[in-house]
Amino acid sequence: MSSRLAVLASGRGSNLRALHEYLTHGGRGSIAQISLVLSDHADAGALAFAKSHDIAAVAIEGGTLGGERLLAQLHSHRIDLVVLAGYLRLVPSNVVNEYRGRILNVHPALLPAFGGSGMYGLRVHAAVIASGARVSGATVHFVDERYDHGAVIAQWPVPVLSGDTPQLLAARVLRVEHALFPAAVAAVAQSRIALDQNGRATHMHLPNLDDATYVLDSIDDAALRKAIGIALSA
């Protein structure tokens, strides 16, 4: 049976769009459908997208005060899986408790590095560049009570290139998010990946080498390209 998804988004909603595109093509509607979009910003692009695609769209205040209202919305729309796509608030603990193992987030760096409170938007990419790291990436993980902390479900490396600005790196990582995030959501919706008793994902969702070709092609350092290629095909 198709899983009913709620997407929580604070901003423009490009990951929401990518997820919607993925689920409405190739017969994937039988895996999951986006049944509700929630935002803590009434003017979020994500809400506008939902309205224009006949998806229930609700603005709700964030923070712990919003927990009961959030749960009430999730119940009334019979939501199976909660997906954070650029949601900037901490998910209230009553929501995490009820949906543990059924809440996912996408983050624009390789967690556990460059995550946590205050690490969002361009700040993440600025910190990666300032650190001198040669590789960043995208992470999809289960959500727990702490920012960017739950078990990793999927990761995909993205090179940091010389001359990168936070904006350039953000755009490169976002392309990967748009591919990785829907695939990871589908894997959890189909119970191919779950949260185990030790608080880890039962499997790691690994992208295949074909999907990663454009990432590899953009790397101008042959040794790094080879290292990432080997890691992806392992």
Q: Which residue is nearest to ligand GRF (CB)?
A: 86
**Quick check: 86 binds ligand GRF (CB under 6 A)?**
yes
CB of 134 to ligand GRF, least distance (A): 20
177 binds ligand GRF (CB under 6 A): yes
Number of residues that bind ligand GRF (CB under 6 A): 13
Q: State the Cα–Cα distance between residues 83 and 106, nearest whole angstrom.
A: 8
Say whether 1 sits in a helix, a strand or coil: coil
Q: Candidates 4-12, 53-61, 75-83, 214-222: pick the segment binding ligand GRF (CB under 6 A).
A: 4-12
Q: Minimum CB separation from ligand GRF for residue 180, in Å?
A: 10
The pair of three-digit structure tokens given for residue 99, joined into one six-digit string: 């949906």
Report the distance separating Cα 175 and Cα 234, nearest Å.
Answer: 23
Task: State the DSSP H helix or E strand holding residue 48, giving kind and residue range, or none if neither.
Answer: helix 45-52
Active site residues: 107
In the complex with ligand GRF, the residue whose CB is nearer, 75 or 146, is: 146
Q: Scan residues 92-111 and list those touching ligand GRF (CB under 6 A).
A: 106-108
- My answer on whether omega of the bond before 108 falls inside 30° of 0, hence cis, is no
Considering the complex, state which of residue 167 and residue 233 has its C-beta at the smaller distance from ligand GRF.
167
Q: According to the binding rule CB under 6 A, does residue 119 interact with ligand GRF?
A: no
Instruction: Examine residue 69 and tell whether it contacts ligand GRF (CB under 6 A).
Output: no
Closer CB to ligand GRF, 123 or 203, in the complex: 123
Residue 231 and residue 212: Cα distance in Å, rounded?
Answer: 11
Q: Nearest 5 degrees, angle CA 126-CA 218-CA 16? A: 60
Give SS3 for 103. strand
Question: Vertex 139, ends 200 and 78: CA angle to 5°?
Answer: 70
Question: Which residues would be at the binding site for ligand GRF (CB under 6 A)?
Answer: 9, 11-15, 85-86, 106-108, 174, 177
